[in-house]
Amino acid sequence: MSTRDDLVEATAELLRERGYSATSPARILERAGAGQGSMYHHFHGKADLARAAMEHVAAVMTEAVESEDDPSLPALDRIRAFLAREWDPLLGCRIGRLVQDAEVVGDDDLRGIADRYFTHLEDWIADVLEVGRAAGELRGDADTRAAAAMVVAVVQGGFVLARAHQDVATQQAAIRGASLALGALRAREH
């Protein structure tokens, strides 16, 4: 693996463990086993390196969600499988966490990565639900965009609660609550 890749990898790890502001170039270099010259040769600076790392992480996470999906299942089962994924709540979402950092939100390049990541996820869920509606599985008047936003928000909020409590149980409870509540979208049985 190239020094450049080592730097991106080390940055991604530290972003996950400590967030953006609290991650210093010095620590990145230490973990990557590289000198300062390498970093400033391959990247313009800390923000540029973080941008590369965030883009890598967002691509990996998006790919993971879609590769685990089984489109032959009923829509609600697909969404419930998404909710039931293995999250790592104590570390927080690798993307969502960063967006609470003023430096990240103040940099349109960095925030844009999170923006597009969540937009893609919300669209994907809404599309799955639309398929379910077209198949008659869901109510004709189901608000699929609202439901998709709710699903993504429950996972993200679960991370917040897990970190506050230092305990994974509350995120699991929130996800269970959302899974159960999604039953409200189901078309009435005849």
Partner DNA sequence: GTCTATAACCGGATAGAC
Partner DNA sequence: GTCTATCCGGTTATAGAC
> DSSP secondary-structure letter at 4?
H
Using CB atoms within 10 A of its CB, is residue 22 exposed (0-12), middle (13-18) or buried (19+)?
exposed
Residue 46, binding choice from a copy of itself, DNA, none, Cβ under 5 to 8 Å by partner class: DNA
- DSSP tally for the chain: helices H, then strands E: 9, 0
Backbone angles phi, psi at 86, to 5 degrees: -80, 105
54 interacts with, out of DNA, a copy of itself, none, CB within 5 to 8 A per kind: none
Which residue number, 38 or 62, has a Cβ lying nearer to DNA?
38
- Alpha-carbon separation of residue 125 from 89, 128, 180 (angstroms): 21, 5, 17
Shortest separation between residue 95's beta carbon and a copy of itself, angstroms: 8
First to last CA, the chain: 59
Q: Kindly list the residues in this chain that would bind a copy of itself in the complex (CB under 8 A).
A: 17-19, 21-22, 92-93, 95-97, 99-103, 105, 111, 114-115, 117-119, 122, 143, 145-161, 163-166, 170-171, 173-178, 180-185
Establish if 2 lies at the interface with DNA (CB under 7 A).
Answer: yes
26 touching DNA, by CB under 7 A: yes
Provide the minimum distance between the beta carbon of 161 and DNA in the complex, in angstroms, as a whole number.
Answer: 26
37 touches, from DNA, a copy of itself, none (C-beta below 5 to 8 Å by class): DNA
Q: Which is nearer to a copy of itself, 70 or 108 (CB)?
A: 108
x/- contact string, 33-52, with DNA (CB under 7 A)? xxxxxx-xxx--xxx-----
Is the Cα dihedral 184, 181, 100, 18 positive or negative?
A: negative
Smaller CB separation from DNA, 27 or 186: 27
DSSP SS3 for 138: strand
Helical packing angle, 46-68 and 3-18, nearest 10°: 80
**Residues in touch with DNA (CB under 7 A):** 2-4, 23-27, 33-38, 40-42, 45-47
